[in-house]
Amino acid sequence: MSLKGQNILVTGASKGIGFAIAEELLRQGARVGVHFYSGKEQANALVAKFGADRAKALQADLSDNGTVPQLFQKALDFLGHLDSIVLNAGVFTPHSTDMEVDDWFKIWKQTLAVNLDSAGLLTKLALDHFKEQKAGRLIYIGSRAAFRGETEEYLAYAASKGGLTSLARSVARSFGKSNIKSFVIAPGFTRTAMAEQFIREYGEEKVLGEIALNQLTEVTDIAPLVGFMCSGAMDHATGTTIDINAGSYIH
């Protein structure tokens, strides 16, 4: 499969799932805007590997909505136009209900600002752009948590991913006639740096006990599907959610 000629922005692309997605898209021939917040070294590693004509590291703090339009414009300045946007950036910050209300709500607001508000604003910007060029794809990296819930320490995370899922479906339903497609990929527990805190606290055996397979999902299990979506081969699945959760719904 070749993505040559495709221009794609990936948010949260300096680590974990986002890094694997950006690397896979570049490997398949796309040009990629590699968004990062603090992982400059990792983002630049992709630029060095694939070349400055193919990839560019784009810094933005997505908890600050004022920087989101700037990120979008920087991606356009580099790529010229966008064919797809992969909305992957997210935080997974615990905020136990045992916390004081103000401290708990601060984490709630920060989580939704990154996971949902920035995605909503990027969606609006993308829709304006895609309507003008009469085509485009939005790929949202959701979560199993949107469908089965999360533990009490991660209420904001689950809520944000539920909102993201509804947003993606609404885009697919509302803009399909404008040749704009929208998809959700909903991973289960995936081995990333973001998940290591959970593993340290609860142990890997607890996570393995919730799935049907013998191994945790890896980021490389998710990335090829994004490439397939960006290729256009799944356009008639617009609005769908693809679960990659190692059979944890049926286990």
Paired with 56 in beta bridges are 33
Pair 44, 55: CB distance under 8 Å? no
Residue 44, amino acid = N
H or E element in which residue 139 lies: strand 136-141
Q: How many CB atoms lie within 10 A of CB 47?
A: 17
Instruction: State phi, psi for 33 to the nearest 5 degrees.
Output: -85, 120
Q: Can you tell me the distance from the alpha carbon of 218 to that of 121, in angstroms, rounded to the nearest whole number?
A: 29
Please answer whether residues 6 and 228 qualify as being in contact, where contact means their C-beta atoms are separated by less than 8 angstroms: no
Distances from the Cα of 176 to the Cαs of 8, 99, 180, 236, 239, in angstroms?
19, 44, 5, 10, 9
Sign of CA dihedral 55, 59, 63, 67: negative
Q: At what angle do helices 16-27 and 40-50 cross, to 10 degrees?
A: 10
For the question of residue 157 being annotated catalytic, the response is yes
Q: Residue 46 half-sphere exposure, CB side, CA atoms within 13 Å?
A: 30
140, 154, 157, 249: the active-site residue: 157
Q: Please report how many Cα atoms fall inside a 13 Å half-sphere around the Cα of residue 200, on the Cβ side.
A: 6
Give catalytic residues, as residue numbers.
157
